[in-house]
Chains A and B, each alone.
Chain A
Amino acid sequence: MTSIILVVATRLIFPLMLMFSLFLLLRGHDAPGGGFVGGLMAASAFALFALATSVTRARDALRRSTFRLIGIGLLFAFVSGLPGLFAGSPFLRALWTSTELPVIGKLSSVLLFDTGVLLVVVGVTLTIVFAMAEADEEEEE
């Protein structure tokens, strides 16, 4: 049922979409974009991959369970708030490093937070998509 064209196209587009997702994440602080939209982009990439091949293959490509992604994403967001807490200021106090790295820009707890957002969005979207697809398969059986 899966067409060759879709498979080939997916092979090409898949990495591009992931890169674009990263780009959206990084530039989000200064221009429209950010973790949420970036996450949706990455999720679409995997969803497309699943469509072109199979859910199982897509799960393999992801290498982690989608719940683990959600959990880690939440953990990122959670951890990004901790330094401030331990430094005696309230939760979620933003911290910035002074050195500027190429491409990424300044490292900060805020970036960690936004990355967490991205991971959660990917995890959630894929959980839904995969579970739906699997439920459909089962019902057809």
Chain B
Amino acid sequence: MLNAVLAAFVLAFAAPLVARHMPRQVGTIAALLPAGIFVWLLNQAEMALGPGVVERWPWSPLPGVALTFRLDGLSLLMALIISGVGALILFYAGAYMHGQAQAGRLYALLLAFMASMLGLVLADNLIALFVFWELTSITSFLLIGWHFQEERSRAAALQALIVTGGGGLALLAGFVLIGLVGGTWEIAELSAQAGTLQDSVVYLPILLLLWLGAASKSAQFPFHFWLPGAMVAPTPVSAYLHSATMVKAGVYLLARLSPALGGTSEWSLLFMVTGLVTLLLGGWLSLKQNDMKRMLAYSTVSSLGLLVTLLGLGTKLATEAAALYLLAHALFKGALFMVAGAIDHATGTRDLRRLRGLAGALPTSALAAGLAGLSMAGLPLLAGFAAKEFIYEAALFSGGGVWILTLLLLAGNVAFVVVAQQMTLRIFAGASLSFESFHAPAIPLWLAALVPGALGLALGLLPDVTATLAGAAARAIYGAPVTIHLFVLPGSVTPMLLLSALTIAAGILLYRRRVQLEPWLNWLDQGARLGPEGAFQRLVEGLPHFAARVTALQQNGRLRSYVLWIVGTWLLLLGLTWALRGGPGLPANLLVRLSDLRFHELILVLVILAGLASVMLANTLMTLIVSLGVVGIGTAIVFILFGAPDLAMTQFSIETLGVILFVLVLYRLPGVVRLSPRRTVLRDSILTGLAGAVITLMILIITDLPLVSPLKTWFAGASEPLGHGHNVVNVILVDFRAIDTLGEITVLGIAAIGIFALLKLRPGRKVAEGKDGP
């Protein structure tokens, strides 16, 4: 299975190359791979329908993450759809995209998407599944934005990515929680311990996170709006990603996890409500669309809602219905999209109001659309019929609230019937119109649509095949053996049959009266536009403004404000620490310790403090520099008094040099002006005064503690015998801690380079070769 996924990725990279050299055949060549995978899957079907095929690969980026693949009934069904529709789409795209610039990239992205999607449905490890899940979002993003020079495409791509990406992150959190509770990310193992998961305190959060992920991906309310937007992509993309496969990922996930998490009342409530709302909303919105693709997209939203409802219901019958509908929908919706694309290609428009009587011009497309439309409407002999029968049966045998549920499903299905008529009767029947730029479509454009249309009929006529395939999928969802009994034509009149008939009748009636309905439809459409989609737009547009405002508050360009933040944070943290964790008390014997102060020392202290005051009050540069010098020399004298002659010497010489530099460098600057208002000065004084007090306190506390310095004793003893020097400080500097000194002179060297470059290298000044030597 890995080989299939990898092969598709590899071919994806090769596709642009193939497209460059064989622009005419590239679609067909690319289609060979999914076709091959399709055949291989059929080959594996017997095993898959039985015990399932498991593959483990020794690749584990993190503990607990593994590349495990499992082919069972559900993944087989999905994989067949993915590879089958994939082959047709690539074949179709070969004709659809012919002659367009950078078509190679489209094949590459489609193949990469297919690989990701296959990985998604085959993976049996939640994290591996998630990896593929996100890859489908990314490829979808790139495909939606295919016409990247158009603003509309970019906006739609962004919308799709942020909605599905955000949902994806929620899903990830859910997966991590599942892993923490269940102790594993292997889906098979999780399915075996549903009890642990469902009894956990985080069951509800997990469910909600899962809901966010699945609902955003499968375009459920209130995240449905990205899908119609995604219709700006080329039609092969819409047909493949946004109707047949990717949007089913959320549904697939629910199906996959329903053995582990499903069956609770929370599960049913959450997903049935979501599904039903989406079903009705999507159906309603599909009625008023004039753009074929948008109409199909809303209808897809509605279908996805139906699937979610069924999975939420979770009974045996409901899972059977879901499996059947999944299959039927992929076929008829894929076909209808491709028909829409062919019409667009031939006539240059997708507007339903401008299309009529195409049957004569596009007979083969009409046939494909007819088959698909009949299946969609749920007429007997076609796959869609069986699915609808099961949907109603599941509703009728659901237990509480039967009538409400049945009624809502009926309403949803009526909308499908209307859409089916729009896609067949409305466009193909009647007197034909003439189009200026009409050209007959190439063979792939109708053939690729006819195949799934015909398959819908074939599956309807071969109930055993359909039952086996869907039954195996339903078994994987339901978690217990399931056998579906299907029939070509119903043998007796059942309530389900009556409901089906009612659906179709209502659909026809509604289609005929659609003109009278329009004001109603418009009203609801406005609401939907202002709702979630509007909120999303406001968020996306408002966020940068909000960010700029917040950032401008902090990053305001004023250095003093930055310093204030830092000093404030430091004091705050210290304050919190002392308040909450017990601070050090003031040492008790301060007066005793103060009494050892000698007279000359007192004078020195006063001089330093006076110098300091003078620094702060200075209003000419000279005063400032001289006062700084006083403080510096005062410090040097402290060093002399307390046995540090080396320090004093260094401090003196540095002080002298510093003053010279100060004068040399700064004499051109203006005098020191006072710029801050009184209030700022007061605030700063209090804050810095506090900082100083903290430092004083720290010194007092620490010097009050006993200190045994092993270093002092050792250095004093080792200096002469081992270091051959009498000046311990110097021996430390050049020998014991010589690497510090090495670093120190390196700092000096770099400073020299920096200063030199600052002074000599200036923008706009030409530096003559050889003249810049120091």
Q: Do A and B come from one complex?
A: yes
Question: A28-B730, A31-B727, A128-B661 are known contacts. Are A94 and B749 too (CB-CB below 8 A)?
Answer: no
A70 CA / B746 CA spacing, docked (Å): 9
Pick from B475-483, B645-653, B671-679 the stretch touching chain A: B645-653
A71 CA / B773 CA spacing, docked (Å): 14
B353 beta carbon closer than 8 Å to chain A: no
Pick from B168-176, B228-236, B718-726 the stretch touching chain A: B718-726
Question: A32-B645, A130-B774, A135-B759 are known contacts. Are A120 and B748 too (CB-CB below 8 A)?
Answer: yes
Q: How far is the CB of A65 from chain B (nearest CB, A)?
A: 5
In the complex, chain B residues whose CB is within 8 Å of the CB of A35? 734
Find residues 759-774 in chain B having any chain A CB closer than 8 Å to their own CB: 759-760, 773-774
A77 beta carbon closer than 8 Å to chain B: yes
Known: A96-B724, A110-B738. 5 other contacts (CB 8 A): A29-B724, A29-B730, A37-B650, A70-B752, A114-B734
11 contacts between A and B (CB under 8 A): A29-B731, A30-B725, A30-B730, A37-B650, A67-B753, A77-B741, A92-B739, A96-B724, A110-B725, A113-B741, A113-B742
Closest 8 CB pairs of A and B: A29-B725, A30-B726, A127-B752, A32-B645, A120-B745, A124-B752, A124-B748, A135-B759
A49 beta carbon closer than 8 Å to chain B: no
Question: A127-B756, A131-B759 are known contacts. Are A29 and B734 too (CB-CB below 8 A)?
Answer: yes
In the complex, chain B residues whose CB is within 8 Å of the CB of A77? 741-742, 745
Question: A116-B745, A127-B752, A132-B664 are known contacts. Are A37 and B724 too (CB-CB below 8 A)?
Answer: no
Pick the residue among A73, A94, A113, A125 that contacts B657 (CB under 8 A).
Answer: A125
Could you tell me if B774 and A66 are in contact, using CB atoms closer than 8 angstroms? yes
A94 CA / B721 CA spacing, docked (Å): 13
Could you tell me if B723 and A94 are in contact, using CB atoms closer than 8 angstroms? yes
A50 beta carbon closer than 8 Å to chain B: no
In chain B, what residue has the closest Cβ to A29?
Answer: B725
Find residues 106-141 in chain A having any chain B CB closer than 8 Å to their own CB: 106, 108, 110, 113-114, 116-117, 120-121, 123-125, 127-132, 134-136
Q: How far is the CB of A77 from chain B (nearest CB, A)?
A: 5
In chain B, what residue has the closest Cβ to A130?
Answer: B774
A46 beta carbon closer than 8 Å to chain B: no
B6 beta carbon closer than 8 Å to chain A: no
Q: How far is the CB of A73 from chain B (nearest CB, A)?
A: 7
A28 CA / B646 CA spacing, docked (Å): 9
B344 beta carbon closer than 8 Å to chain A: no
B201 beta carbon closer than 8 Å to chain A: no
Could you tell me if A110 and B734 are in contact, using CB atoms closer than 8 angstroms? yes
Could you tell me if A128 and B734 are in contact, using CB atoms closer than 8 angstroms? no
Could you tell me if A117 and B745 are in contact, using CB atoms closer than 8 angstroms? yes
B22 beta carbon closer than 8 Å to chain A: no
Residue interface mask A17-31, B partner, CB < 8 A = 1: 000000000001111
Query: Using a CB–CB distance below 8 Å, which chain A residues touch chain B?
Result: 28-37, 40-41, 65-67, 70-71, 73-74, 77-78, 81, 91-92, 94, 96, 106, 108, 110, 113-114, 116-117, 120-121, 123-125, 127-132, 134-136
A31 CA / B733 CA spacing, docked (Å): 13
A55 CA / B739 CA spacing, docked (Å): 34
In chain B, what residue has the closest Cβ to A34?
Answer: B730
Could you tell me if A121 and B745 are in contact, using CB atoms closer than 8 angstroms? yes
Could you tell me if B653 and A37 are in contact, using CB atoms closer than 8 angstroms? yes
Could you tell me if B749 and A124 are in contact, using CB atoms closer than 8 angstroms? yes
Pick the residue among B730, B741, B748 that contacts A33 (CB under 8 A).
Answer: B730
In the complex, chain B residues whose CB is within 8 Å of the CB of A124? 748-749, 751-752
A81 CA / B746 CA spacing, docked (Å): 15
In chain B, what residue has the closest Cβ to A113?
Answer: B734
A42 CA / B628 CA spacing, docked (Å): 25
A63 CA / B646 CA spacing, docked (Å): 31
B590 beta carbon closer than 8 Å to chain A: no
B580 beta carbon closer than 8 Å to chain A: no
Pick the residue among B731, B741, B753, B773 that contacts A117 (CB under 8 A).
Answer: B741
A136 CA / B745 CA spacing, docked (Å): 27
Question: A37-B653, A94-B723, A125-B657 are known contacts. Are A74 and B734 too (CB-CB below 8 A)?
Answer: no
In the complex, chain A residues whose CB is within 8 Å of the CB of B735? 94, 110
B576 beta carbon closer than 8 Å to chain A: no
A36 CA / B657 CA spacing, docked (Å): 13
Count of residues in B whose CB is under 8 Å from the partner chain: 38
Pick the residue among A41, A66, A78 that contacts B752 (CB under 8 A).
Answer: A66
Most buried by B among A36, A40, A121, A134: A36
Q: How far is the CB of A81 from chain B (nearest CB, A)?
A: 8
A37 CA / B652 CA spacing, docked (Å): 10
In chain B, what residue has the closest Cβ to A118?
Answer: B745
Q: How far is the CB of A102 from chain B (nearest CB, A)?
A: 17
Could you tell me if A30 and B774 are in contact, using CB atoms closer than 8 angstroms? no
Could you tell me if A34 and B661 are in contact, using CB atoms closer than 8 angstroms? no
Could you tell me if A127 and B755 are in contact, using CB atoms closer than 8 angstroms? yes
B707 beta carbon closer than 8 Å to chain A: no
Q: How far is the CB of B741 from chain A (nearest CB, A)?
A: 6
Could you tell me if B724 and A106 are in contact, using CB atoms closer than 8 angstroms? yes
In the complex, chain A residues whose CB is within 8 Å of the CB of B645? 32
Could you tell me if B749 and A28 are in contact, using CB atoms closer than 8 angstroms? no
Most buried by B among A30, A81, A108, A116: A30
Pick the residue among B729, B731, B748, B755 that contacts A121 (CB under 8 A).
Answer: B748
In the complex, chain A residues whose CB is within 8 Å of the CB of B661? 128, 132
Question: A32-B645, A67-B774, A116-B745 are known contacts. Are A128 and B752 too (CB-CB below 8 A)?
Answer: yes
Could you tell me if A33 and B649 are in contact, using CB atoms closer than 8 angstroms? yes
In the complex, chain A residues whose CB is within 8 Å of the CB of B665? 132
In the complex, chain A residues whose CB is within 8 Å of the CB of B748? 70, 120-121, 124
In the complex, chain B residues whose CB is within 8 Å of the CB of A120? 745, 748-749
Q: How far is the CB of A99 from chain B (nearest CB, A)?
A: 13
A91 CA / B735 CA spacing, docked (Å): 11
A124 CA / B760 CA spacing, docked (Å): 16
Question: A77-B742, A114-B734, A132-B759 are known contacts. Are A40 and B726 too (CB-CB below 8 A)?
Answer: no
A120 CA / B744 CA spacing, docked (Å): 10
A112 CA / B682 CA spacing, docked (Å): 54
Pick the residue among B650, B724, B752, B774 that contacts A36 (CB under 8 A).
Answer: B650
A135 CA / B762 CA spacing, docked (Å): 11
Q: How far is the CB of B567 from chain A (nearest CB, A)?
A: 31
Q: How far is the CB of B663 from chain A (nearest CB, A)?
A: 11
In chain A, what residue has the closest Cβ to B773?
Answer: A65
Could you tell me if A131 and B755 are in contact, using CB atoms closer than 8 angstroms? yes
In the complex, chain B residues whose CB is within 8 Å of the CB of A74? 745-746, 749
In chain A, what residue has the closest Cβ to B647?
Answer: A32
Q: How far is the CB of B432 from chain A (nearest CB, A)?
A: 86
A96 CA / B773 CA spacing, docked (Å): 38
A129 CA / B660 CA spacing, docked (Å): 10
A116 CA / B733 CA spacing, docked (Å): 13
In the complex, chain B residues whose CB is within 8 Å of the CB of A32? 645-646, 649, 727, 729-730
Q: How far is the CB of B729 from chain A (nearest CB, A)?
A: 8
Q: How far is the CB of B58 from chain A (nearest CB, A)?
A: 43
Q: How far is the CB of B651 from chain A (nearest CB, A)?
A: 11
A106 CA / B772 CA spacing, docked (Å): 41
Most buried by B among A29, A66, A121, A136: A29
Q: How far is the CB of B765 from chain A (nearest CB, A)?
A: 10
In the complex, chain A residues whose CB is within 8 Å of the CB of B726? 29-31
Pick the residue among A29, A66, A96 that contacts B727 (CB under 8 A).
Answer: A29
In the complex, chain A residues whose CB is within 8 Å of the CB of B759? 131-132, 134-135
